[in-house]
Amino acid sequence: MRPLTTRLAAALRRVFAPLDAAANRLYGGRFNPLYQSGTIAAALLVILLVTGVYLLLFYRIGAPWASVQRITDQVWLGRWIRGLHRYAADLAVVATAVHALRMFAQRRSWGRRVLPWVSGLVALGIVLVSGWTGYVLIWDSFGRLLAVEGARLFDLVPLFSEPISRAFVGERPMPAPFFFLNLFAHIAIPLGMGIVLWLHVSRVARPTLLPPRPLLWWGTAALTALALLWPVGMAEAASAFRLPQVVPLDLFYAFWLPAARGVPAGWSAAGLVLVTVALLLVPRWTTPPKGSRPAPSAVDEHTCTGCTQCALDCPYEAISMVPRTANPVGRSPLVGRVDPDRCVSCGICAGSCSPMGVGPPGRTGRDQLDSVRAFTKQHRPGPGDVVVIACSLGIGAQPGRLGDAPLHPVACAGSVHTSVIELLLRSGAGGVLVLACPERDCWNREGPRWLEQRLYRQREAELYERVDRRRVRLALVSSGQAREARAELAALRAAVAALAVAGAETAPDVLRECETVPEETP
């Protein structure tokens, strides 16, 4: 299955690339709803909670359809609140599904990301089941269809003394306990969502739970406007003695219903089980083979100064500071320690360490400098050249689309040590353009954020003051924004051309600037 999931993920990335690019142009990378799908889903849950409490005040299990009709027709703001509740529920499914697809496309579903993946699936299941019970609560023709299909599935489980489907034949009126159970499930199951969300973000540092405020408020306003302009109506009341000709279906929750009604319940159950098992097996199917799994970061204790910056920057809380035990005299009392079970090998710590003492094997700051030396030897960038450093998970994956500029691809722009940029300039390049993914699109979460702060805001390990910032440019572009990347390149080339020609040093040695203080002899 691994090759299949790899191809599927690549195909999905190709689908997302133009959509991301279009949404970035329209909304900007920070407010791109595709990037914010996870936080949008969380915000929608809050809206569902608030509107749900209001609706609960007027709902009656003894007269479900009549009470919903009363909410719709008579209760103050009832129709709009119902609309908001319904549309928020619909978009919650969309947002959760988009979020899951993005994670799958970016292969963020294995290793230490298994827990977020599985908890995300549980969250999606909770959303779907809550929607199901919510529609049954209305007890209109659609709700009855859902209830009957659910009963057919339950009847396959040999636990109940009497087939549940018989409850809907019309022998007697629907008992209030049925609606009480549905209401209980509709409220209790989403309450479990809090625990699921906590699990979902428990393995990341600084989880972002809500979208940026402008997106949050504008999104809520747009949803409210939709509820006002396109208010939800009432379908006919459920009846056991009348077949509904046309049922208003909510395709977000009942996309499966037309197919399920046409086949035996066993087939539907088999399909449900198959899809669930396949989704749960995604982490297994997307795990790279043993030999090709990226190795976790490691700390060189001899070099580590105990500054704690790598522990602060790690987006996965994989680095902790522990008391130094080896040769502690004259050294910092603390030293970084990487937990390999939590490390995703993003390499962001490599960019955070001034003395270049941490990072995944082959990608530490020192390794990056070696790589740049080889690069400059091969490309020999001149004073008019702009070297492009691009994230190979994003725009750097297709170097041909960036024109003739010398391209130095990196595993993650967030892992680039600022000395790499300095070395490129001191080797003769006229400028350095760093193309990173938009922050919310970073496969490693916080790469572009830390990189921007290292370049412009003195965050450790910062780009030294002596480096001419006019020759350095950081652009956040998604893999589909080649046009924007070329424009950034052209702009930097023009800026560099306007500057005096920089002279290349004969033998720049950036590493010397970053050497640690030699150990004192005890």
Partner 1 sequence: MTGSIRGIAMALVSAGLLVGTAALSWYPYEAEPRPDAVVRFSWRTRGEVIENCRRPGEAELAQMPAHLRQEVICQQGTVAPYRLRIGVGGMTLLDSLAPGSGGRSDRPMYLLREVLVAAGSHRVVVELRRDDRPDGTDDSTQVEAEGGSRRARSLRQRAIPRRMTLDTIVTLGAREVVLVTYDSEKRRLVVVHQ
Say whether the peptide bond before residue 461 is cis (omega within 30 degrees of 0): yes
Q: Which of 6, 69, 165, 308 binds partner 1 (CB under 8 A)?
A: 165
Is 19 a binding residue for partner 1 by CB under 8 A? The answer is no
Closer to partner 1 by Cβ: residue 23 or 413:
23
Output the smallest distance, CB 331 to partner 1, in A. Answer: 54
Q: What is the smallest separation between the CB atom of 235 and partner 1, expressed in angstroms?
A: 9
Q: Does 232 bind partner 1 (CB under 8 A)?
A: yes
Closest CB to partner 1 among residues 191, 222: 222
Which residues, at least 6 apart from 321, have a Cβ–Cβ distance to it below 8 Å? 306, 308, 311, 334, 335, 336, 337
> Nearer to partner 1 by C-beta: 223 or 435?
223
Q: Does 94 bind partner 1 (CB under 8 A)?
A: yes
Question: Does residue 470 touch partner 1 according to CB under 8 A?
Answer: no
Residue with tokens 């973000």: 201
**Closest approach of partner 1 to the CB of residue 7, in Å:** 29
**Whole-number minimum distance, CB 256 to partner 1, in Å?**
12
Cβ atoms of 369 and 423 within 8 Å: the answer is yes
CB 389 within 8 A of CB 422: no
Quickly tell me which residue has 């199917």 as its tokens: 285
Residue 475: both structure tokens together: 């652009």
Smaller CB separation from partner 1, 144 or 449: 144
Min separation Cβ 103 and partner 1, Å? 21
Binding of residue 257 to partner 1 (CB under 8 A): yes
155 or 339: CB nearest partner 1:
155
> Distance between CA atoms of 315 and 129, rounded to whole angstroms?
32
Tell whether residue 233 is a contact of partner 1 (CB under 8 A): yes
3-state secondary structure 291-311: HHCCCCCEECCCCCCCCCHHH
CA angle 399, 403, 408 (to 5 degrees): 45
CB distance 204 to 106 below 8 Å: no
CA-to-CA separations, 23 to 17, 18, 34, 105, 296, in angstroms, rounded: 10, 8, 8, 18, 34
Shortest separation between residue 85's beta carbon and partner 1, angstroms: 11
The minimum distance between CB 63 and partner 1, in angstroms, equals: 18
Nearer to partner 1, 258 or 340 (CB): 258
Confirm or reject binding of residue 156 to partner 1 (CB under 8 A): no
- According to the binding rule CB under 8 A, does residue 161 interact with partner 1? yes
Cβ at position 42, least distance to partner 1 in Å: 18
Give the x/- contact pattern for partner 1 in 284-323, rule: CB under 8 A.
Answer: ----------------------------------------
CA 427 to chain CA centroid, Å, is 38
Residue 228: count other Cβ atoms within 10 Å of its Cβ: 13
Rounded distance, CA 208 to CA 277, Å? 29
Give yes or no for residue 214 binding partner 1 (CB under 8 A): no
Please count the residues of this chain forming the interface with partner 1, following the rule CB under 8 A. Answer: 42
- For partner 1, the closer of residues 85 and 203 by Cβ is 85
| Least separation in angstroms between CB 18 and partner 1 | 14
| Cα-only R_g, the chain | 28
Question: What is the amino acid identity at position 127?
Answer: V
Considering the rule CB under 8 A, would residue 487 count as an interface residue with partner 1?
A: no
> Does 171 interact with partner 1 (rule: CB under 8 A)?
yes
Is there binding between residue 154 and partner 1 (CB under 8 A)? no
CA dist 445 and 205 (Å) reads 10
Candidate residues 180, 230, 267, 464; the one interacting with partner 1 per rule CB under 8 A: 230
CB-wise, 258 or 323, nearer to partner 1?
258
Closest CA to 357 of 385, 335, 380, 340: 335
Q: Smallest distance, Å, CB 32 to partner 1?
A: 11
Task: Please identify, using beta-carbon distances, which residue of 82 and 454 lies nearer to partner 1.
Answer: 82
Considering the rule CB under 8 A, would residue 86 count as an interface residue with partner 1? yes
Contact 172, 283 (CB under 8 A): no
Helix (H, G, I), strand (E, B) or coil at 338: strand
Contact 395, 402 (CB under 8 A): yes
Smaller CB separation from partner 1, 58 or 256: 256
Verify binding: residue 169, partner 1, rule CB under 8 A.
yes
The site string for partner 1 over 237-256 (x = CB under 8 A, - otherwise) reads --xxxxxxxxxxxxxx----
Q: Which residues of 230-267 are buried (b: 16+ CB within 10 A; e: fewer)?
A: eebebbbbbeeeeeeeebebbebbbeebeebeeeebee
The whole-angstrom separation of Cα 69 and Cα 61 is 13
Catalog residues that contact partner 1 under the rule CB under 8 A: 25-27, 86-87, 90-91, 94, 141, 145, 161-163, 165-166, 169-171, 222-223, 225-226, 230, 232-233, 239-252, 257-258, 261
